[in-house]
Amino acid sequence: MSYTYKNLSISKLSIIGAGQIGPDICLHFSKVFSKDNVSLVLVDISEDALAIAKTKIEKKIQKGVDTGAFKPEMAETMKNSVTYTSDYQNISGSNIVLEAATEDEKIKNIIFNQVEKICDDDCLFLSNSSHMRPEVIFQNINNKSRCLVTHYFFPAERNPVVEIIPGEETDASITNLLMGFYESIGKVPIEVKSSYGYAIDPIFEGLCQTAILCLEKGYGSVKEIDAIAQKSLGLGVGPFTALTLTGGNPITNHGLDEMNHELMAWFKSPKLLQDAVANNTPWDIAKRGEIVEVSPEKTTVLEKQFLGAYFALSSYIIDIGISNISDVNMACEVALVMKAPFALMNKMGLDSACHIVEEFCEEHNEFQFPESLKNARQKRKWNISNIVKKVQDGVAVFTIRRPKVLNALNLDVISELETGLNEAENDDSIIGSVVTGFGVKAFVSGADINMLAGLKTPEEGYENARSFQVVFSRIQNMKKPVVCAMNGFAFGGGNELAMSCTMRIAKKGLPLLACQPEVNLGFIPGAGGTQRLPRLVGLKTADKILRTGRPVSANEALEIGLVDKLVDGDLVSDAVFCVKQLVSGELHTNPMITSPFNEGEVSQEMELKHLSQSIDVILTRTIYKGAEMNLEDGLEFEARQFGECMKTEDMKIGLKNFLENGPKVKAAFIHK
């Protein structure tokens, strides 16, 4: 067996290096390939390192069993898929070799010289590096077209972001193939042009440098600096704690000095970091659960330092042209677990952000005020996109990409989607569009719950619902076909978006494809669910789905008419083909009923269990009265009824429960 993505077939994959990150990369591959019988080989010249790596991997797999993440059979398959060896000949026959050895030019060159002699010409060569340019790593390889850097982030088995860095001679088709491959195995890849440290590490290591400089200048203690960095930037852990957990002192020390002559003069390893590396001195970080109090005076100084550094460093990456605003914004939020820099500047206001950076650059005079930030200030905002647009065979493909919230919709996202679809509608070179979601888990997980929780009055609820409805109605009424490629589950607003499209296709075999879960949260669908679902699947079927909030599998969705087709292979390519068939007339879909269609059907008694009776009354009224109206009037009625939910106690209870306890804990509704 093998794992296949487009024309990339993997039956054997080798990882070289059993030190800090190699075993974690191996663990991730063992998980994603557990159903495909892919052979994994972990190579290291040290038998001790291999033994430690095996213990580490198997311990993490067992922890997955204990927590219920892995079934015992899957865990056994994962363990058995890995061969631990010091013999490089065992990598023969690999489709991919991924090197994860020490950040040392000579060592990496020696490794790949061996690898090239052993492996076939079509084997892809990847290097997990955090700094080194691919032209340096692969300088002695004959066929450089198959060579790339793939930079994983700690911890590699769980952190989804991977930077993909092609070299000057890398085949662009291989870069594109790897971008799709990594997405297909649950990662969030971003392409970065070749540059020392790539896009994200100069930001992270620059913040570490800032923290250590603050310590040297007496702005606070290690614990205080960590605490304020967490508070001001939204970090999971502070810079000193991050360096401690990852063993990052030596590589950061080296990286900062290299950035000094590779990037700009501001980067330089502080003396305290040099001493910590030379003497193997640990940072005095706070213990787990320890509360660190910081005076208001120190807080103000440290917040300005970190915000100034963060905004300046992120803008600098845009200045040097190796990545784009949206990728850096997303990657910082997801990979580094911190507030997204450009979104934070937009929220704060560009004038305020620029003032903070100006003060930072005055104190750190080797850091020039970034040109990209000047331009953003003139435009009053950074243009951040949550949608990736590509054109494939004359079809515009829009991918909603918000991996942190599983592509959840908010008003910015639907506005951006509407703009893109309108542009495609008016572009004579475009014959139609495809809408899909990023990743393999979710098409769209629903409406952003924080947005809904921010609604206060029935009128705000109505306006919010209408904002979604107006866009979805425009999608439904477009002259050019819009095919929805449901790459994963579609909850709430995701399913409502899908239903507004000309046609829906979905991955075959999904046990959970669509759901209108709003009743579990104490409100009704507000973006068309109560009106479009009955018109697609019939009143009785829709009644049960809407009032119970139960999920629908891909097979059931096809049976009841919620989707038009299930796909086994490349979903987006199939969706593009469907657009072409719709345009040529080879394929037809049944248009949605837009006229009144309720012929006297009334709601049936239903066991609601834990669900709110007061919300059910509003919901059934909306479903059945709406069916007596034409579609547009029904949508208007639904929006008004969504606003009515805001008068209930149960909506407050449902949203509070979800935000505090997540979706698995049932809300204690009081039916008021």
Identity at 659, one-letter amino acid code: L
Q: What's residue 421's pLDDT?
A: 98
SS3 15: strand
pLDDT in tens, 415-458: 999 999 999 999 999 999 999 999 999 999 998 888 988 999 99
CATH topology of domain 3-191: Rossmann fold (3.40.50)
303, pLDDT greater than 90: yes
User: For residue 17, what pLDDT is reported?
Assistant: 97
Residue 18's pLDDT is 97
Query: Among residues 370, 364, 301, which one has the least CA distance to residue 342?
Result: 370
> What pLDDT band is residue 590 in, cutting at 50, 70 and 90?
confident
Instruction: Look up the CATH number of domain 387-661.
Output: 3.90.226.10
Residue 604 has what pLDDT? 83
Sequence-ordered strand ranges (E) for 300-459: 387-392, 395-400, 432-437, 442-444
Q: Which two tokens stand for residue 269?
A: 């390893």
* Average pLDDT over every residue of 165-172: 98
Q: pLDDT at position 599, please?
A: 80
Q: Give the integer Cα–Cα distance in Å for 482 and 578.
A: 10
- Rg of the chain taking only CA atoms, in angstroms: 27
Which residue's entry shows tokens 């100069």? 202
What is the percentage of the chain residues whose pLDDT exceeds 90? 94
Asked whether the beta carbons of 249 and 276 are under 8 A apart, the reply is yes
Question: What is the C-alpha to C-alpha distance for residues 242 and 249, in angstroms, rounded to an integer?
Answer: 10
Q: Which residues contact 61 (CB under 8 A, 6 or more apart)?
A: 27, 30, 70, 75, 78, 79
Inter-residue contact 314 to 203 (CB < 8 Å): yes
Is 14:96 a contact under the CB 8 Å cutoff?
A: yes
Q: CA 658 to CA 660: how far, in whole Å?
A: 6
Q: Sign of torsion, CA 323 327 328 334?
A: negative
Dihedral of the alpha carbons of 185, 199, 164, 571, in degrees to the nearest 10: 50
Question: Which phi and psi angles does 208 have, rounded to 5°?
Answer: -65, -45
Q: DSSP secondary-structure letter at 167?
A: -
DSSP at 513: -
Give the C-alpha distances (Å, rounded to integers) separating 576 from 397, 406, 425. Answer: 8, 23, 15
Helix 458-476 / helix 631-645 crossing angle, nearest 10 deg: 150
C-alpha–C-alpha distance, residues 157 and 20, integer Å: 12
**How many residues appear in the chain?**
672
Higher pLDDT, 663 or 621: 621
Q: What are the CA-CA distances from residue 404 to residues 160, 198, 324 (Å)? A: 10, 22, 18
Q: What pLDDT is stored for residue 247 in this prediction?
A: 87
Which residues on adjacent β-strands are paired with residue 5? Answer: 8
Q: What is the pLDDT of residues 367-381, one digit of tens each?
A: 999 999 999 999 999
The Cα 4–Cα 594 span in angstroms is 42
For 478, list phi and psi in degrees, rounded to 5.
-65, 145
Provide the b/e sequence for 114-138 (b: ≥16 CB within 10 Å).
ebbebbeeebbbbbbbbbbbbebbb
Query: Does the structure show a pLDDT above 80 at 1?
Result: no
Mean pLDDT of 187-205: 98
Q: What distance in Å separates the CA atoms of residue 666 and residue 497, rounded to the nearest whole number?
A: 26
Mean pLDDT, the chain, integer? 96
Domain map of the chain by residue range? 3-191, 201-379, 387-661
pLDDT digits (tens, 9 = 90+) for 332-360: 999 999 999 999 999 999 999 999 999 99
Question: If you average pLDDT over residues 280-285, what whole number do you get?
Answer: 94
- Cα separation, 398 vs 415, whole angstroms: 13
**Sequence-ordered list of residues with C-beta below 8 angstroms from that of 309, at least 6 positions apart, any chain:** 206, 207, 210, 360, 364
User: φ and ψ at 278, to 5 degrees?
Assistant: -60, -40
Mean pLDDT, rounded, for 15-29: 97
The structure tokens listed for 266 are 């501001």
Burial class (CB in 10 A: 0-12, 13-18, 19+), 534: buried
For the chain, how far is it from start to end, CA to CA, in angstroms? 56
**Angstrom distance (rounded) from CA 460 to CA 94:** 58
- pLDDT value of position 606: 85
User: Which of 148-162, 458-472, 593-607 comes out lowest in average pLDDT?
Assistant: 593-607
Catalytic residues: 496, 518
pLDDT in tens, 114-162: 999 999 999 999 999 999 999 999 999 999 999 999 999 999 999 999 9
Q: Residue 254's pLDDT band (boundaries 50, 70, 90)?
A: very high
The model's pTM is: 0.93
Q: What is the reported pLDDT for 453?
A: 87
Quick: pLDDT tens for 508-550: 999 999 999 999 999 999 999 999 999 999 999 999 999 999 9
| pLDDT tens, residue by residue, 377-394 | 999 999 999 999 999 999
Report whether 192 contacts 18 (CB < 8 A). Answer: no
Four-point Cα dihedral 518, 519, 522, 526, nearest 10: 40
pLDDT of residue 663: 87
Contacts of 173 (CB under 8 A, 6+ apart): none
**585 CB burial (10 A radius; 0-12, 13-18, 19+):** exposed
CATH fold of 201-379, please? N-(1-d-carboxylethyl)-l-norvaline Dehydrogenase; domain 2 (1.10.1040)
Cβ atoms 419, 468 nearer than 8 A? no
